[in-house]
């Protein structure tokens, strides 16, 4: 399958859809009792409306004006270097999401230490002191925040 695209087309479509959904949600999410023409809904409506119009402009710019990349979707696409790079970003995002879940259950010290190890493994680090420095820093931050700033980290 052959696909022609550029960042304007993709972001134009994404924000066009997002703005349309948000516009529909305004009455249910901003249930104001004000009767004046300018009320709690006005600025969100201006922002969402603006987002819709500018996304439309961006989409049209992408379709008619700018150069497009051509991607042919087949098996080799998924084995390519660029696809692998994109997957690395997705994996990194998943590590961060897993971290916030872990942080909720096991607290700052253990979860951040595990995050540090996960990131260093992600980069393929082998030197032991590369692990020791940020791990020690986690301990230092925990101590400084707790004793000097009186912030009890979870």
CB of 77 to other proteins, least distance (A): 18
Q: What is the 3-state secondary structure (H, E, C) of 20-66?
A: HHHHHHHHHHCCCCCCCCCCCCHHHHHHHHHHHHHHHHHHHHHHHHC
Residue closer to other proteins, measured from CB, 3 or 96: 96
Residue closer to other proteins, measured from CB, 71 or 141: 141
Q: For residues 12, 15, 18 and 20, what is the CA-based torsion angle, rounded to 10 degrees?
A: -60
Give the binding site for other proteins (CB under 8 A): 7-8, 10-11, 15, 22, 25, 29-34, 36-40, 42-44, 46-48, 50-51, 54-55, 57-58, 61, 85, 88-89, 91-93, 96-97, 99-100, 103-104, 108, 112, 115-116, 119-120, 122-125, 130, 133-134, 137-138, 141-142, 145, 149-154
Residue 90 to residue 63: CA distance in whole angstroms = 27
Residue closer to other proteins, measured from CB, 14 or 73: 14
Would the CA dihedral through 35, 38, 42, 43 be positive or negative? negative
């Amino acid at each position: 399958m052959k696909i022609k695209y550029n960042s304007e087309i993709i972001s134009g479509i994404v924000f066009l859809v997002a703005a349309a959904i948000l516009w529909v949600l305004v009455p249910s999410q901003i249930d104001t009792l004000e009767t004046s023409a300018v009320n709690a809904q006005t600025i969100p409506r201006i922002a969402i409306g603006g987002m819709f119009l500018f996304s439309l402009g961006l989409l049209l710019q992408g379709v008619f004006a700018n150069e497009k990349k051509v991607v042919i979707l087949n098996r080799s696409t998924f084995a390519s270097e660029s696809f692998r790079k994109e997957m690395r970003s997705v994996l990194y995002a998943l590590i961060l999401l897993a971290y916030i879940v872990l942080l909720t259950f096991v607290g700052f010290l253990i979860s951040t230490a595990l995050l540090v190890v996960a990131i260093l493994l992600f980069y393929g680090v082998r030197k032991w002191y590369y692990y020791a420095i940020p791990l020690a820093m986690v301990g230092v931050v925990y101590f400084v925040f707790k004793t000097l700033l009186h912030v009890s980290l979870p």
